Amino acid sequence: MKYQEIIDKMTIEEKAAFLAGKGEWQTREISRLGIPSIFCSDGPHGVRKQAGAGDHLGLNESLPATCFPTAATVANSWDTELGEMMGEALGEEAMALGVNVLLGPGLNIKRSPLCGRNFEYFSEDPYLAGKMAASYVRGIQSKGVYACPKHFAVNSQELRRMAMNAVVDERTLREIYLTGFEIAVKEGKAKTIMSAYNEVNGTYANENRHLLKDILRDEWGFDGIVITDWGASNDHALGVAAGSNLEMPNPGLGSARELIEAVNSGKISETDVDDRVDELLGVVMTLHVNAQNKKDSFDRKAHHEIAGMVSAQSSVLLKNENTILPLKKGARVAVIGDFAFTPRYQGAGSSLVNVTKLETVSELISNYDLQVVGESRGYKRNGEEDAAMKKEALDLASKADIVLYFFGLNEDSESEGMDRTHMRIPQNQITLLQELGQVNPNLVGVISAGSAIEMPWHHYFKALLHCYLNGQAGAGAALDILTGKVNPSGKLSETIPRRLEDTPCFRYYPSRERTSEYREGIYVGYRYYEKTGMPMLYPFGFGLSYTKFLYSNLKIVDGKGISLTVKNDGNIDGAEVIQMYVGLPNTKIFRPEKELKGFKKIFLKAGESRSVEIDFDDKTFRYFNVRTNKWEKEEGDYEIKIGASSADIRLQGMIHVKGTTDILPYCEEKMKSYFTGKIENVPDTEFEELLGRVIPDGKWSGLLTENDAFCQMYYAKSGLARLVYKKLTAMEKKADESGKPDLNTLFIYNMPFRAMAKMTGGAVDMEMVKGIVKIVNGHAFSGIGQMICGYFRNMYRNKKYEKALIKE
In sequence order, what are the beta bridge partners of 602? 576
Nearer to ligand BGC, 37 or 661 (CB): 37
Give the gyration radius of the chain's Cα atoms.
Answer: 27
The number of beta carbons lying within 10 Å of the beta carbon of residue 61 is 13
Q: In angstroms, rounded to a whole number, what is the distance separating the alpha carbons of residues 750 and 710?
A: 6
Interaction pattern, residues 180-219, with ligand BGC; x per rule: CB under 6 A: ----------------------------------------
Q: How far is the CB of 289 from ligand BGC (least distance, A)?
A: 24
* DSSP tag of 177: I
Q: In what order do the strands lie in the sheet with 515-517?
A: 203-204, 199-200, 165-167, 515-517
Please say whether the beta carbons of 315 and 74 come within 8 A.
no
* DSSP tag of 567: E
Strand ranges, E, within 634-775: 636-645, 648-657
Nearer to ligand BGC, 42 or 92 (CB): 42
3-state secondary structure 663-692: CCCCCHHHCHHHHHCCCCCCCHHHHHHHHC
Q: Is 229 a catalytic residue?
A: yes
Nearer to ligand BGC, 26 or 376 (CB): 26
Buried b (16+ CB within 10 A) or exposed e, 452-475: bbbbebbebbbbbbbbbbbbbbbb
Phi first, then psi: what are they for 5, rounded to 5°? -60, -45
Binding-site residue total for ligand BGC (CB under 6 A)?
8
Inter-axis angle of helices 80-96 and 300-314, nearest 10: 150
The number of beta carbons lying within 10 Å of the beta carbon of residue 605 is 11
The number of beta carbons lying within 10 Å of the beta carbon of residue 517 is 22
3-state secondary structure of 413: helix
Please say whether the beta carbons of 117 and 94 come within 8 A.
no
Q: How far is the CB of 128 from ligand BGC (least distance, A)?
A: 20
Nearer to ligand BGC, 230 or 621 (CB): 230
Nearer to ligand BGC, 48 or 462 (CB): 48
Task: From the candidates 125, 169, 229, 502, give the one annotated as an active-site residue.
Answer: 229
Interaction pattern, residues 637-656, with ligand BGC; x per rule: CB under 6 A: --------------------
Please say whether the beta carbons of 225 and 192 come within 8 A.
yes
Nearer to ligand BGC, 43 or 130 (CB): 43
18-47 residues in contact with ligand BGC (CB under 6 A) are: 42-43
In sequence order, what are the beta bridge partners of 192? 225
* DSSP tag of 197: S
3-state secondary structure of 166: strand
Q: How far is the CB of 368 from ligand BGC (least distance, A)?
A: 37
Please say whether the beta carbons of 147 and 104 come within 8 A.
yes
78-107 residues in contact with ligand BGC (CB under 6 A) are: 103
Q: Cβ contacts of residue 336 below 8 Å, gap of 6+?
A: 375, 376, 377, 378, 393, 396, 397, 403, 404, 405, 406, 432, 436
Nearer to ligand BGC, 195 or 201 (CB): 195
336-355 residues in contact with ligand BGC (CB under 6 A) are: 350
Among 49, 131, 150, 191, binds ligand BGC (CB under 6 A): 150
Interaction pattern, residues 52-71, with ligand BGC; x per rule: CB under 6 A: ----x---------------
Q: How far is the CB of 249 from ligand BGC (least distance, A)?
A: 8
Q: How far is the CB of 215 from ligand BGC (least distance, A)?
A: 21
Q: Is 152 in the site for ligand BGC (CB under 6 A)?
A: no
Nearer to ligand BGC, 196 or 775 (CB): 196
CA within 13 Å, CB half, 8: 5
Q: Strand 630-633 to strand 463-466: parallel, antiparallel, or no bridges (unpaired)?
A: unpaired
Q: In angstroms, rounded to a whole number, what is the distance separating the alpha carbons of residues 543 and 317?
A: 5
Q: How far is the CB of 350 from ligand BGC (least distance, A)?
A: 3
Q: How far is the CB of 56 from ligand BGC (least distance, A)?
A: 3
Nearer to ligand BGC, 229 or 593 (CB): 229
Nearer to ligand BGC, 43 or 643 (CB): 43
Q: Is 276 in the site for ligand BGC (CB under 6 A)?
A: no
The number of beta carbons lying within 10 Å of the beta carbon of residue 615 is 14
Q: Is 230 in the site for ligand BGC (CB under 6 A)?
A: yes
Q: In angstroms, rounded to a whole number, what is the distance separating the alpha carbons of residues 167 and 162?
A: 15
Q: How far is the CB of 752 from ligand BGC (least distance, A)?
A: 14
Residues in contact with ligand BGC by CB under 6 A are 42-43, 56, 103, 150, 229-230, 350
Q: Could you list the active site residues?
A: 229
